[in-house]
């Protein structure tokens, strides 16, 4: 039987990476504090550093605006479909 890999939540990864980025503790101290392997601290710190520019990029802002616009269109569509469904239920009800 193989060992099952432990899954870590994004919030923990972010806290570990932030602690590593601060630089006031060694990798081993951070690993001990969070009870994880030092390699994970290094890995999550590198990933945070590589992803950080994307957070502040125009593409991220555009992506958020695109998601918001799509969400708005979907809510409009849901509203129209609900009105149509209610109308069809009224037309097809046996009492009319």
Distance (Å, whole) CA 46 – CA 43: 5
The predicted pLDDT at position 2 comes to 64
Q: What is the pTM of this model?
A: 0.58
Measured between its terminal Cα atoms, the distance across the chain in Å is 66
Could you tell me what percent of the chain has a pLDDT over 70? Answer: 96
The predicted pLDDT at position 4 comes to 78
* Degrees, nearest 5: CA angle 63-66-45: 20
pLDDT tens-digit series, residues 24-56: 999 999 999 999 999 999 999 999 999 988 878
The mean per-residue pLDDT over the stretch 90-96 comes to 80
- Residue 48 near residue 17, CB atoms below 8 Å: yes
Which residue is listed with tokens 């602690």?
A: 19
pLDDT band for position 5 (50/70/90)?
confident
Domain boundaries, the chain: 10-92
Distance (Å, whole) CA 47 – CA 45: 5
């Amino acid at each position: 039987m193989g060992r099952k890999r432990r899954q870590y939540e994004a919030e923990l990864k972010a806290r570990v990476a932030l602690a590593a980025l601060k630089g006031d503790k060694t990798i081993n101290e951070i690993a001990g504090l969070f009870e994880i392997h030092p390699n994970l601290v290094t890995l999550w710190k590198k990933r945070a550093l590589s992803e950080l520019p994307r957070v502040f990029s125009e593409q991220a802002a555009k992506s958020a605006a695109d998601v918001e616009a799509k969400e708005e269109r979907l809510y409009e569509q849901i509203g129209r479909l609900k009105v149509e469904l209610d109308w069809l239920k009224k037309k097809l009800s046996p009492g009319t």
